[in-house]
Chains A and B, each alone.
Chain A
Amino acid sequence: MFIEIKNIQKQFIDKENKPITVLKDINLEVQKGEFVSILGPSGCGKSTLLSIVAGLTKANSGEVIVNETQVRKPGKDRGMVFQQAALFPWLNVLENVTFPLKKEMSKKDANEQAKKYLQMVQLSNYLHHYPHELSGGMQQRVAIARALAMNPDTLLMDEPFGALDEQTRSRLHGQLETIWTETKKTILFVTHSISESIKLSDRIIVMGTKPGTILQDIRVDLPRPREQYKKEMLEIEEHIMGYLKKEIDKVVSEELANASNN
């Protein structure tokens, strides 16, 4: 297996000094080149799980193995795209994308590599623009190009299209699918949108909340592009909704209880 997540537990300490279990007994295996979505309601710890795979957050127990190496810290073999583009405002588009390449290659090679991936996200005409001059969707494409430019085996995406409008999101879905087919990256994609996960992934990991656990591992066997399989996608959506409804009800009733306590 390319990515192995074994018995991950994660606890946070809340304001009243009580431990809260965010992730419990998480076990997951992902094959090389697979597109796997992690789907769940807010607060289920899906972003924390991705952060643990990235090496940005430490688990309390369990281990993550990527390409036969245990994850201890962040590394260039795992590119990460966040919900906010996180571009450096003091660098232009090209400089942002060459940021991870500076140490290992000459300026010329780095620029060439960066241009190749900027072309892939169709931003070749914006090399010398600064982030504040770009729209949200364009910024996110630069962030994707930046993660791809270090040529990682794995791409970790934390609700990358969550802050974008519907049309932009749908266009970026298409671009991401093309990139994935061309580059054969292994993608772990965190989202709370059921339709997004069905449209994009080979497998959907459905997570429940309080504590965060894996409820279901659903394989999506529809051919791509999937726009033409509206009916089948809807069936899968209803199937997943069945699992998630209970979880969402749980979150809502808890929030209502908290609200009435206050």
Chain B
Amino acid sequence: MHPTIKRIIFFSVIIAFWEIGSRLELWLPTILPSPSMVLDALITGFEDKTLIYDLVASFKRLAIGLALSLIIGSALGVLLAKSKSADETLGTVILALQSVPSIIWLPLAIMWFGMNETSVIFVVVLGGTFVMTLNMRAGMKNVNPLFVKAAQTMGATGLDLFVRVAFPASIPHVVTGARLAWAFAWRALMAGELLSTGPGLGYTLRYASDFGNMSLVIGVMIIIGVIGYIVDQLIFQRVEKNVLERWGLES
């Protein structure tokens, strides 16, 4: 059986049980609203455009934050790969920071930048940067020495060698780094919005919860999950697979 058909059956069964359970009042709608109520909440949300504003606002922050973290992360990664002293000092700090959830920076960010977008973007940048740094560093360190030798015999030196050989050779690591940076940034964004101000998906989630609108809470959770799945599976996994194949790293 085709995996897509299996998935459709799987989700249909879950939703059917959920709907039947709700209709038989096995649990209260304030605890777990039925799928049809969730769908209603989503339709209302899109019709009065609040969810659209939320999506636009969240994606704007994500785009700015992720772009910054990819740029800063790559630059730091190259620095760590090229300078042994930087690796031995700054590298340790980055390893430590990478193991910390970036949301813990939010209280400090609110003190620095105020209760606004900048604070959320700051948390998003911290979420994505360090994992990008570590992957960029690994990519640079693992450039096949034979590529470098071959390029040298063809007259490449210095910056030319970096731009035309070392960087493209580390693209597989860069792609993996970007995928993980996106995943961390997305989580950091939702946490940041949940604790900060709107508009934004996370903010609407908390707002709906404060007003006891459980249907909208679940609706927003589903949107967050679906976006995460689409970006990871349909964009990053495909790019990663193509790159690995081209670079001859996957048979």
Interface residues on A, range: 20 to 34
> Least Cβ distance of B170 to chain A in Å?
10
A89 lies within 8 A of B246 (CB): yes
> Least Cβ distance of B60 to chain A in Å?
32
A74 lies within 8 A of B165 (CB): no
Q: Which residues, 16 to 55 on A, are CB-close (under 8 Å) to B?
A: 54-55
Q: Does B111 contact A (CB under 8 A)?
A: no
Q: Does B84 contact A (CB under 8 A)?
A: no
A90 lies within 8 A of B246 (CB): yes
Binds A, one of B151-159, B190-198, B207-215, B225-233: B151-159
- Out of B146, B155, B164, B248, which one reaches A82, CB within 8 Å? B146
Write out the residue numbers on chain B whose beta carbons fall within 8 Å of the beta carbon of A2: none
User: Which of A55, A88, A103: most chain B CB closer than 10 A?
Assistant: A88
Task: Decide: A74 near B155, CB < 8 A? Known: A82-B150, A88-B147.
Answer: yes
Task: Decide: A82 near B149, CB < 8 A? Known: A74-B155, A131-B248.
Answer: yes
Write out the residue numbers on chain B whose beta carbons fall within 8 Å of the beta carbon of A103: 155, 160
Proximity string of chain B (9-41) to chain A, C-beta cutoff 8 Å, 1 when within and 0 when not? 000000000000000000000000000000000
> Least Cβ distance of A152 to chain B in Å?
9
Q: Which residue of B lies closest to A54 (CB)?
A: B153
B154 lies within 8 A of A88 (CB): no
Q: Does B101 contact A (CB under 8 A)?
A: no
Q: Does A243 contact B (CB under 8 A)?
A: no
Write out the residue numbers on chain A whose beta carbons fall within 8 Å of the beta carbon of B149: 56, 80, 82, 86
A130 lies within 8 A of B246 (CB): yes
- Out of A89, A100, A156, which one reaches B247, CB within 8 Å? A89
A132 lies within 8 A of B245 (CB): yes
Q: Does A150 contact B (CB under 8 A)?
A: yes
> Least Cβ distance of B72 to chain A in Å?
24
Q: Which residues, 140 to 189 on B, are CB-close (under 8 Å) to A?
A: 144, 146-147, 149-156, 160, 164-165, 168-169, 171
Write out the residue numbers on chain A whose beta carbons fall within 8 Å of the beta carbon of B165: 88
Proximity string of chain A (60-88) to chain B, C-beta cutoff 8 Å, 1 when within and 0 when not? 00000000000001111011101010101
Q: Which residue of B lies closest to A146 (CB)?
A: B154
Describe A's contact surface by its main secondary structure.
loop
User: Which of B153, B156, B160, B168: most chain A CB closer than 10 A?
Assistant: B153
Q: Which residue of B lies closest to A130 (CB)?
A: B246
Q: Which residue of A lies closest to B249 (CB)?
A: A89
Interface residues on B, range: 20 to 34
Write out the residue numbers on chain B whose beta carbons fall within 8 Å of the beta carbon of A180: none
Q: Does A99 contact B (CB under 8 A)?
A: yes
Distance, CA A132 to CA B244, complexed state (A): 11
Task: Decide: A150 near B146, CB < 8 A? Known: A88-B168, A132-B245.
Answer: no
A150 lies within 8 A of B155 (CB): yes
A99 lies within 8 A of B164 (CB): yes
B155 lies within 8 A of A75 (CB): yes
Distance, CA A84 to CA B160, complexed state (A): 23
Proximity string of chain A (131-142) to chain B, C-beta cutoff 8 Å, 1 when within and 0 when not? 110000000000
> Least Cβ distance of B247 to chain A in Å?
5
Distance, CA A156 to CA B154, complexed state (A): 12
Task: Decide: A132 near B155, CB < 8 A? Known: A82-B150, A88-B147.
Answer: no
Which residues of A approach B to under 8 Å, CB–CB?
A: 54-56, 73-76, 78-80, 82, 84, 86, 88-90, 99-100, 103, 130-132, 146-147, 150, 156
16 A-B pairs (CB sep. < 8 Å) = A55-B152, A80-B153, A82-B146, A82-B150, A84-B146, A86-B144, A88-B147, A88-B168, A89-B247, A90-B169, A103-B155, A131-B248, A132-B245, A132-B246, A150-B154, A156-B153
Seed contacts A86-B149, A88-B169, A99-B154; 18 additional CB < 8 Å A-B pairs: A55-B153, A56-B153, A73-B152, A78-B153, A80-B153, A82-B146, A86-B146, A88-B168, A89-B246, A99-B151, A99-B164, A100-B154, A100-B155, A132-B245, A146-B154, A147-B153, A150-B154, A156-B153
8 nearest CB pairs, A to B = A100-B154, A86-B150, A80-B153, A132-B248, A74-B152, A90-B168, A76-B155, A89-B247
